[in-house]
Every structure is written in structure tokens, then in C-alpha cells.
Structure 1
């Protein structure tokens, strides 16, 4: 198993996030093709992200941004006592019915990006970090996109630590090759 696969495996094992949480979806792929409009234009890969403010991010490639898809992941990865911040996308409707007591929204459609302490700037910052990092490869093969995404997640989550030492620890606990 290669190092990127070990990193991806490590990221998937993270515990549920708790506290001030931001959720958002983003589209990765080629620039918009002329004549194609709307979400996912140009065969983009859809990624859903959850960030605990000032700490960690979790990402998952999703088939769509439907309410059932997004809320299943939120329920799996976000503790019920958390305060969730999102945009107005309909996929986030009903979080209160799922048991989340605090859900705040910003309305990008009305040029609202911050409402007091409620925003999704943390996850938006992660999207920018990831897209910039992946653009250096001048395109990432869809076959390996997941591994590159998880590498970005790992780098972001441990940005204040010695990544080399962190990777060594992961490899020591799970060697790349069995003897």
C-alpha cells in the first residue's frame, strides 16, 4: 500500500467532529465548458466537506448534493451537540429535525457571507487550499483524485505539526510493505 493510501486510511479513521462546525460542498474539475451551466457543469467531481473551526476538516466524494446524501454524512461525522454553520443550500434543511439544536445559515445569494460569528469561511478556505494544491498537478486523474483529496485533508489537519514525523508515525504503525 502506498503512502497516499495510508494517509487516506488515517483520515477516514478520525472521530466525529464536535463544536463549531461548518459544512459545504464544492466542485472539482475542469473549468466551466461554454454552454454548460449549473452545478457540476463539465463533469466535475462533487466533494462534501465538514470543518471544525480552527482544527480539522473531513471530506468525502459524493454522487450528488441531495439532502439525503449530505445529511447521512453529517449524522455520521458530526456530534449532535455541535453548532452547525452552512449556506442556504436545501440539502441542509431539516438538521434541527435530526437533533441538531443549533443550525445557522448565511445567504450567499443575497451577498451575505458573514452574519456575526456565523459563516463558512473555514471550509471555503480549505476548498481554495485544495484546488490551488491540485492545480499544480495540471489536473488530477479521476482514478487518483480521492488520494489527492485526502492528502490535502491530511496536510490541512496537521498544518501546525511536523508532517514528516507524523507520516513516519503512521507508517511505523502500519508498514507499507509486509515482510
Structure 2
């Protein structure tokens, strides 16, 4: 009676890539090395690297979406990603850009979602799906967030961006600096791709979210544990 052979790669189902080579590639991915550079460093075909990078981004997006709803102090804001600003078109109506809502729990994680618009209905769908009614919410003065009161939010504080205000005078706790920090991080990080196809933007956004949430932690070790429990396929 022959015994079953151990899988060639316990991190990826039916992979032609050796476990050692996959770990090398994963380490580069976690270090935020581009696919082009990773292909050069590992000697792997660029298409192979792109495939595994894509699989890792899909898994990361699944992890982000599965996170529990936030409570405590939560900020809410939206930003625009994508095409360069069109002259004369500014703010929440900027054309050619992708709208992203962000919800960071202070001292914790951030959650993002691509949205079709910035209406009250859309913003409330995002908030209701990811924040507890017991949360203390911090937003800017945009009318879309008026629905928080009707929803039954415990407390809601506003900061007036229209007056170039990001922290309320006399009340330093009333701010949305957490989400502003994420917007800056995500946009600076995505610049290196020099444009991302619209169909790929969601996965890159979730990768930014995941990396931001992993700050101060060993992403490589985390992903090894995750993939041992649920291999890529």
C-alpha cells in the first residue's frame, strides 16, 4: 500500500511552483516589490508573477471584506481616485474619477468601498454595513451624512472642510485625520503603477487597505499562516 505524497506546495493547490520559490515570491510581494522587479529577482516569467500577485490580491480582498463591523470612534469620508483633475471641475463632482468611501476605526483598521456616487443613500449603505449604531461617528459637513441621525447613531460630530478645517478648534478630538492619513497613503502608493485599469482598481484598493491595516505587523508571517490554512487555488 503506497502512502500519499505530501503536496509540492502547501500554500497553493496544484501549483507547479516549488514551495521555496513561492515563499520567495510571497516575501517580495509583502515587501511591496513590483511584479516586474519580482520577476527579475526570482527568475520567474512575468506572466507567472502577475498570476500569483493577482491571486494574493484576491485573497487579501476576501480578508478585508470579512472583517467584523466597527464600533467605538469611527470616521467616515470619501475621496476620488483615478484620472487627473479636469480644469474647472473640482470636489465631489470631479469627472473621470472613482469614488471611494472610507471608514477607519480610530486606533484600529480602515475599511474602503467603491461607490457609484456620493448620495446620502449610498453613504448610509456603506456605513450601515460596516459600523455599529453604538459608534461615535466623525465626518465632514457634507449633507450625505445627515442620515446618521435618522439611522440612530449614538453620537455624530462634524468638521467643516469648507472652512479648511480638519480639526475642530477647541475640540482636538473632533477630526477626521485618520481617514485623511489613509487617503494620502493609498494615493502615494498607487502612483507607482502609473495608471491602473478600472477593472483592477478594486483589488489594488483592497491591497492598500490591507497593507495600511497591517502596519506594525509582519505581513509575510501573517500571509504564510493564512495560506497554510486556506491555500490559494
Q: Which residue of 2 aligns with 1:175?
A: 231
Matched, 1:59 2:112: yes
Q: Aligned residue for 2:130?
A: 77
Partners in 1 of 2:140 and 2:127 — Cα distance?
14
**What CA distance in whole angstroms lies between the structure 1 residues aligned with 2:138 and 2:158?**
6
Instruction: Return the alpha-carbon distance in structure 2 between the equivalents of residues 99 and 73 of structure 1.
Output: 15
TM-score normalised by structure 2 residue count = 0.73
Q: Which runs of 4+ in 1 moved over 3 A?
A: 35-38
Residue aligned with 1:94, SS: helix
Residue 86 to residue 38, structure 1, CA distance change in 2 (3 Å): closer
* 1:104 aligned partner: 157
Contact 1:27–1:40 (8 Å) recurs in 2: no
SS at match of 1:139: coil
TM-score (norm 1): 0.94
Indicate if the aligned counterparts of 1:49 and 1:59 stay in contact, CA closer than 8 A: yes
Computed over aligned residues only, the root mean square deviation of the Cα atoms, in angstroms, reads 1.3
Is residue 2:58 matched to residue 1:2? Answer: no
> Aligned pair 1:157/2:213, yes or no?
yes
1:130 aligned to 2:183?
A: no
- String of CA shifts for 1:49-103, please: whole Å, max 9, x gaps: 0000121000000000110011011111101111000001111003122111200
The CA distance in 2 between the partners of 1:11 and 1:60, in whole Å, is 10
Q: Distance in 1 between matches of 2:165 and 2:91?
A: 21
- Structure 1 or 2, whichever has the larger Rg, is 2
CA contact (8 A) 1:22 1:51 kept: yes
Larger RCO (CA under 8 A, 6+ residues apart) = 1
